[in-house]
Amino acid sequence: PSCRRYVAGGRCKSTARLEGKVVIITGANTGIGKETARDLAQRGKCRLISRQPCARVIIACRDIAKADAAASEIRAETGNQQVIVKKLDLADTKSIREFAEKFLAEEKELHILINNAGVMLCPYSKTADGFEMHLGVNHLGHFLLTFLLLERLKQSAPARIVNVSSLAHHGGRIRFHDLHGEKSYNRGLAYCHSKLANVLFTRELARRLQGKFQRQAGFTANALHPGSVSSELVRHSFVMTWLWKIFSFFLKTPCEGAQTSIYCAVAEELDSVTGQYFSDCQPAYVSPRGRDDETAKKLWSVSCELLGIQWD
């Protein structure tokens, strides 16, 4: 029915193939991450008539058992045996550094990094490094991962960084006076704040990548809203889980929710588009706070301080 088609939203129509490309997708053992991995794996499908190697799709997850099951399913369905599982816990900078170190030792190229993993509506808790959980996983974890892999992406250009944000960024603000929610905490707002951080990180990263190198090499960074998707993301909230079940008809399936991630990763028309925000496979409105360059620069600086890195 037309109502269902409206809910499904835009679809990625690109037929781009990814033979020989290397892709990392965080949190790809379930939901839209898994569907993104499935789509990209078959775009690099092995064929007897092709001498090109398969796309190598690396599923980077905390839950290895779930990730192994997802990878096995994708390999069986697509025929692509280059769907690989690697351990990555975004709530622990030690794990992020170990993942990056192993990846850089084993892989000579990286063409697409999709920062997809996320937590939502967590009761107040902190990461292994003392960061508020939403900020730590959704923003700081991906910020550090991108920093550690940036040179490999540059060497492999054209390359793309895709950050999965949310429409929820409209409700967010960067509370520099209380980044870790120690003075006041609302788990819904904490999620919104972290999704705004994704948008601001994308904006500042794109600004820093621009110039002669980016224009020549096609090295881009974009953010997106996947839509309201029926997934495990609301598992920390009984009320939201209940509402999600009742209104499931009005939610996107994980496959439908993955379309904009796929679009940002492969669409030919985005070869030189950077620093933008998409929804339903088209440019979308960014909140005024998400367009604040001064806040973006300050967040970058504070993030570097918290992570103990220098990223100029």
Residue 143 and residue 300: Cα distance in Å, rounded? 9
Burial 282-306 (b: 16+ CB within 10 A, else e): eeeebbebbebeebbeebbeebbeb
CB atoms within 10 A of CB 188: 14
pLDDT digits (tens, 9 = 90+) for 117-136: 999 889 999 999 999 999 99
CATH topology for the 19-227+258-307 domain:
Rossmann fold (3.40.50)
pLDDT digits (tens, 9 = 90+) for 206-262: 999 986 555 557 899 999 999 866 555 545 544 555 454 544 545 778 899 999 999
Q: Which two tokens stand for residue 31?
A: 């939901």
Give yes or no for residue 49 having a pLDDT over 50.
Answer: no
Residue of 66, 173, 55 lying closest to 114 (CA atoms): 55
Give yes or no for residue 312 having a pLDDT over 80.
Answer: yes
Q: Report the percent of the chain where pLDDT is more than 90.
A: 79
Which residues form the catalytic set?
A: 191
DSSP class per residue in 145-164: HHHHHHHHHHHH-SEEEEEE
pLDDT score at 208: 94
Instruction: Look up the pTM and report it.
Output: 0.91
